[in-house]
Amino acid sequence: MTQNSDPAVPPASAEPWRYVLSAGRTGTVFLESLFAVYAKNAVAVHEPDPTRYQMMLGNLRNDWNILATTTQRWAHASRRKRLSDAGGSYIEINPFLCSVTDLLPDPARDLRIVHIVREPASWARSMTVFKASRKFRWIIDYIPFSKHFPSPRPDGWSDLPQFEKNLWRWVWCNQRILALKPAARAFVTIRYEDLFSQDVDLRSKTVRKIFEVLDLPAPDQIDWTLFDTRINPAPASEESFDLSAVTRIAGPSAQVVGYDH
């Protein structure tokens, strides 16, 4: 965990921005349920509207270098409204923000970030099979800019298998989140595998880190049976993947966050 006290980061004059950021498929729906039970004095919101559409606009901005002012104004106005509506401690759990991470720092407020990361082969496999929530799964491949898109694209992007495209998405999105560390008052990278470990002590320790970085009282004990039901599982699939691509594409970035690739 990294705690920043750089004088270049202005002190908070109001309620901080609290974010749980990831590339998706990292247990963020579980965290929403966890906060609902154990962060009673906070409002935790998962993928709030209209951030899905702001992700798409951010992708367009990044690729074509247009609508930058529109993207910024819309993102800032909508998030200020969400904080105001919460009326206090607000936690935004949002995998849609990779394309607009540069818009998250705010000189008037502390920035507190929990970065959830998942082993790249597991993540890319899950993303390839899951694609999107059931509501959008059948059309997601046909909607422009509706997924995370590296900008600029790697060479040969259009001909890559979906699994390799997702590995590039993993690298790009996690690198952008990690780049926020110098701007954050508190920042921690949490591994998905630790959050869902069979080792209850490790799971509990991981949750305490999350609450600490978000500056919220951590629960003394957690009743894990409340969260036994798995939410949003990926559909069953026997599809095979080229695992040699994991080291080639994601290896160096994976090592930065503690994976041996």
pLDDT in tens, 169-218: 999 999 999 999 999 999 999 999 999 999 999 999 999 999 999 999 99
- 174 Cβ neighbours under 8 A, 6+ residues apart: 23, 115, 117, 253, 257
- Top pLDDT among 58 and 243 is at 58
What's the rounded mean pLDDT across residues 227-244? 75
Q: How many other C-beta atoms are found inside a 10 Å radius of the C-beta of residue 158?
A: 6
What's the rounded mean pLDDT across residues 125-150? 72
pLDDT in tens, 146-155: 889 999 999 9
Instruction: Give 168's pLDDT tier (boundaries 50, 70, 90).
Output: very high
Amino acid identity, position 27: G
The least confident of 93-102, 198-207, 210-219, 234-243 is 234-243
- Coil, strand or helix at 179: coil
- Coil, strand or helix at 95: coil
d(CA 174, CA 78): 24
Instruction: Report whether the peptide linkage leading into residue 152 is cis, meaning its omega lies within 30 degrees of zero.
Output: yes
Helices (H), 108-161: 120-130
Residue 181's pLDDT is what?
Answer: 98
Name residue 46's beta-bridge partners. 93
Instruction: Give 249's pLDDT tier (boundaries 50, 70, 90).
Output: very high
The least confident of 62-76, 123-137, 217-231 is 123-137
Residue 10's pLDDT is what?
Answer: 45
Q: How many domains does the chain have?
A: 1
Across the chain, what does the average pLDDT equal?
Answer: 90
Beta strand pairing call for 89-94 and 111-117 = unpaired
Q: How many other C-beta atoms are found inside a 10 Å radius of the C-beta of residue 12?
A: 16
Is the backbone of residue 101 left (phi > 0), alpha (psi -120 to 50) or beta?
alpha
Q: Do the domain assignments include residue 2? A: no
d(CA 261, CA 252): 7
Q: Do the domain assignments include residue 36? A: yes
Residue 90's pLDDT is what?
Answer: 97
Residue 130's pLDDT is what?
Answer: 64
Residue 131's pLDDT is what?
Answer: 54
Residue 155's pLDDT is what?
Answer: 94
Distances (CA, A) of 101 to 17, 113, 115: 13, 11, 12
CATH code, domain with 92: 3.40.50.300
d(CA 215, CA 78): 23
Residue 140's pLDDT is what?
Answer: 59
Residue 136's pLDDT is what?
Answer: 55
pLDDT in tens, 104-128: 999 999 999 999 999 999 999 998 8
Residue 141 structural domain: 15-222+240-256
Q: Do the domain assignments include residue 203? A: yes
- Top pLDDT among 7 and 40 is at 40
Q: Do the domain assignments include residue 6? A: no
| Residues 194/202, Cβ–Cβ less than 8 Å | yes
What's the rounded mean pLDDT across residues 161-173? 96
Query: Is the pLDDT confidence value at 246 over 70?
Result: yes
Residue 235's pLDDT is what?
Answer: 63
Distances (CA, A) of 7 to 11, 107, 164: 8, 12, 41
Largest Cα–Cα distance in the chain? 52
| Residues 100/177, Cβ–Cβ less than 8 Å | no
Instruction: Report whether the peptide linkage leading into residue 7 is cis, meaning its omega lies within 30 degrees of zero.
Output: no
Q: Do the domain assignments include residue 7? A: no
| Predicted model pTM | 0.90
